[in-house]
Structure 1
Amino acid sequence: MKIIPIIRPDELIRKFQIKNFKLYDVRTGPDAKEKYLEKHLKNAAFVDLNSDLASIDDPKNGGRHPLPGFQDFIKTLGELGIDRDSHVVIYDDKNGANAAARFWWMLRAVGHENVQVLDGGLQYAESQGYPLSSGNESYPKTQYVPDYQNWQLPQIWIDEVKLATQNPDFVIVDVRESQRYQGITEPIDLVAGHISNAENIPFSENLDNSGLFKSPELLKTIYSDLFENYDRDKIIFHCGSGVTACHSLLALDYAGFEIPNLYVGSWSEWSRNAL
């Protein structure tokens, strides 16, 4: 039976009874590790977006957060204490909209099905009385033995995206905030704007006013037109650096859709190539 990709804090407490349950804090920012050490959900180990979930080199070639090599990521999973039998739950401090969703996508992309993202993230779990801890926590190292030797979820690369901008059979979805999409502001990348012919469905539309994921039924109404009008392999999601786009892919999976293409390089790569 397919696992539901979103989990609530009250459900999470019951997961402690599951053998090989693992909880990970994937918050981001320049002081993310320091904040984790000060306060995190009990039993959560820290995962670093930049060193564990990306292989950062030249943003012009792959964007700000390109994927690490497949085998490098498999090694990282073992170092984090994850094996094939692990039931993994991930959270961040941005309603799952940042590195939690990215880590979820990467695990699913290596064929790991038992992975969920904590609805509402750190703040909501804390407000619900979930137990907290401080200091560093970790799990014993393991060896992750994958069934595959490369990523299993669909990706698309910059040359293919360029062709897609000229092909009406494709749709490109930009999940960044509308002001970034419109080029009104750009707080991170060098150039403001968006990929030619891209639509804007901000990732914030996946969430209700409390910062929780909308129901699968409501999410289905948001995205049904995409899947009614385009084949799954011709739908492309992107963001600034291939991280937040995974939040919308997570929402799509929660709503029961097949996961479409992720353009990992996203605007950070596209904008640096004068396209």
Structure 2
Amino acid sequence: MNAWTTLVEPRELLHRLGGEGLVVIDASADLGSPGAAQARFLQAHVPGALHADLDHDLSDHRLHGQGRHPWPEARDFVARLADWGIAPDDQVVVYDAADGALAAARLWWMLHVLGHERVAVLDGGWNAWQAAGLPVASGPARPRDRADYPSGRAFEDSRLFDASDVQAHLRRGGMLVDARAAERFRGDVEPLDRVAGHVPGAVNRPYAMNLQQGRFKPAGALREEFQALMGDTAPGDVVVMCGSGVTACHHLLAMARAGLHGAGLFTGSWSGWIEDPSRPVATGD
């Protein structure tokens, strides 16, 4: 069977549900209401899906100074995969209720930089699944047998940037792309972090520009748009960011769909940047 490595359509997933080696994960999140996403999962989800919690499963809040959703250690993430019953060769499909932006693309990227190739995001997410009238389950996820995920797996650290790495990246002439909405980038409003604005030298492309009617744009269109943004900059010289390293992964998924590989993630993103008040802040376009 063909592996899905970027996106999968709802009916494609439907035809594989219940098949050997397929794991579906609901990564829906609600930044303002802890526990709300889990409650919605209990009410309705794709049959057989597990639930991943952004704060407890995809972040490590024991770490400080790294933004609102600190990037976890590989050993902890690998242990979580084993607990979920995921093996290295399994096909994983992730979805959320926000077109992949919270936090399906984050989990896709975490698996991707761990070297797990067979992972994709459900195009259109939970909304597309429901709109198509596809089967829905409720109640707790059915436990899977613990899997033997190699404990020595490591993240591809060369594609994970902290604030110091980003400063060095910009000094070398690299590109930093901020996926937040334009008004947050400019500093007009800031609903989540204590300081408004952006990293000096960053450029803005809101993640919503990757979408068309709730689905990812065709690969060719995304390629043209990102190439216009990057100009002569190679994909491997691009780092993406957002508020806390979650929605920025939407850009990484869009670039992968477009065949533009090699970009990195500023894991702490804006909330990590402003942890140190000595770092400069820019406002405006």
TM-score tier by shorter-chain length is: over 0.9
1:119, 1:213 within 8 Å by CA — same for their partners in 2? yes
1:212 matched to which residue of 2? 215
Given candidates 244, 268, 278, the residue that maps to 1:241 is: 244
2:115, 2:155 within 8 Å by CA — same for their partners in 1? no
Q: In 1, distance between residues paired with 2:235 and 2:218?
A: 22
2:122 matched to which residue of 1? 118
Q: How many matched pairs?
A: 272
Following superposition, the deviation at residue 33 of structure 1 comes to 0.6
1:187 matched to which residue of 2? 191
Is the counterpart of residue 155 in structure 1 residue 160 in structure 2?
Answer: yes
What secondary structure is seen at the aligned counterpart in 2 of 1:89?
strand
2:282 matched to which residue of 1? none
Following superposition, the deviation at residue 16 of structure 1 comes to 2.1
2:58, 2:72 within 8 Å by CA — same for their partners in 1? yes
RMSD: 1.8
2:283 matched to which residue of 1? none
- Listed as ranges, the matches of 1:80-119 within 5 Å are 80-119=84-123
2:61 matched to which residue of 1? 56
Is the counterpart of residue 79 in structure 1 residue 83 in structure 2?
Answer: yes
1:111, 1:152 within 8 Å by CA — same for their partners in 2? no
Following superposition, the deviation at residue 129 of structure 1 comes to 1.2
- Listed as ranges, the matches of 1:255-274 within 5 Å are 255-274=258-277
Q: In 2, distance between residues paired with 1:263 and 1:152?
A: 11
Q: In 2, distance between residues paired with 1:140 and 1:131?
A: 24
Q: In 2, distance between residues paired with 1:44 and 1:22?
A: 7
1:28 matched to which residue of 2? 29
Q: In 1, distance between residues paired with 2:271 and 2:166?
A: 14
Following superposition, the deviation at residue 234 of structure 1 comes to 2.3
2:178 matched to which residue of 1? 174
2:233 matched to which residue of 1? 230
| Change in 2 beyond 3 A, CA 1:160/1:152 | closer
Given candidates 198, 201, 205, the residue that maps to 1:201 is: 205
5+ residue gaps in structure 1? none
Q: 2:54 corresponds to which letter in structure 1?
A: L
Following superposition, the deviation at residue 226 of structure 1 comes to 4.7
Moved over 4 A (4+): none
Is the counterpart of residue 65 in structure 1 residue 66 in structure 2?
Answer: no
- Normalising by structure 2, we get a TM-score of 0.90
| Change in 2 beyond 3 A, CA 1:259/1:166 | closer
Following superposition, the deviation at residue 107 of structure 1 comes to 0.6
Following superposition, the deviation at residue 229 of structure 1 comes to 1.2
Following superposition, the deviation at residue 271 of structure 1 comes to 1.7
Following superposition, the deviation at residue 83 of structure 1 comes to 0.5
Following superposition, the deviation at residue 165 of structure 1 comes to 3.8
2:29, 2:96 within 8 Å by CA — same for their partners in 1? yes
Following superposition, the deviation at residue 146 of structure 1 comes to 6.2
Given candidates 43, 46, 49, the residue that maps to 2:48 is: 43
1:237, 1:245 within 8 Å by CA — same for their partners in 2? yes
Identity %: 35
Following superposition, the deviation at residue 228 of structure 1 comes to 4.5
What secondary structure is seen at the aligned counterpart in 2 of 1:50?
coil
